[in-house]
């Protein structure tokens, strides 16, 4: 057996409502409610981030889940105008556009924090563009 990819990740958050508002309004994700227990997730392309509220956790879970301990890199469809979009949504830029190294090569990245303080890197590959929906190449 070998790992070939991942299906979803989980963020522990202080407020699902606040987190959903940030990721849907500032970053264009879609909110999804699923399962009999009405869990929340954020969808983008073929991926999703499940949300666990810190005061109402699901089992099984990480050993020591806590809001603000995440560090994720998200690929964006277009880097042009990203700073203006973030400013328009009152999202402070932690690190301005810079070159980084991703899983597939050189990235152009900008860093922000979500409402819980999770580090969010928004990136695009210098030599490869990804489609906004159905990102088959991701």
Q: What would the pLDDT profile of 87-120 be if each residue is shown by its tens digit?
A: 999 999 999 999 999 988 999 999 999 999 999 9
Identify whether 121 is a catalytic site residue: yes
Residue among 17, 32, 63, 121 flagged as catalytic:
121
Percent of the chain, pLDDT > 70? 92
**Backbone φ and ψ of 23, nearest 5°:** -70, -30
Look at the block and give the residue holding tokens 């958050």. Answer: 13
pTM: 0.87
State the DSSP H helix or E strand holding residue 87, giving kind and residue range, or none if neither: helix 82-88
């Amino acid at each position: 057996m070998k790992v070939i990819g991942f299906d979803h990740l989980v963020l522990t958050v202080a407020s699902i409502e606040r987190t959903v508002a940030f990721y849907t309004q500032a970053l264009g994700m879609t909110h999804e409610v699923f399962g009999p227990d009405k869990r929340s997730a954020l969808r983008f392309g073929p991926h999703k981030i499940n949300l666990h509220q810190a005061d109402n956790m699901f089992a099984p879970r990480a050993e020591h889940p806590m809001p603000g301990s995440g560090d994720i890199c998200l690929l964006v469809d277009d880097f042009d105008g990203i700073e203006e979009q973030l400013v328009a949504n009152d999202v402070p830029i932690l690190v301005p556009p810079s070159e980084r190294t991703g899983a597939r090569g050189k990235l152009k990245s900008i860093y922000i924090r979500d409402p819980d303080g999770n580090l969010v890197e928004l990136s695009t590959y210098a030599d490869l563009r990804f489609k906004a929906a159905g990102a088959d190449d991701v």
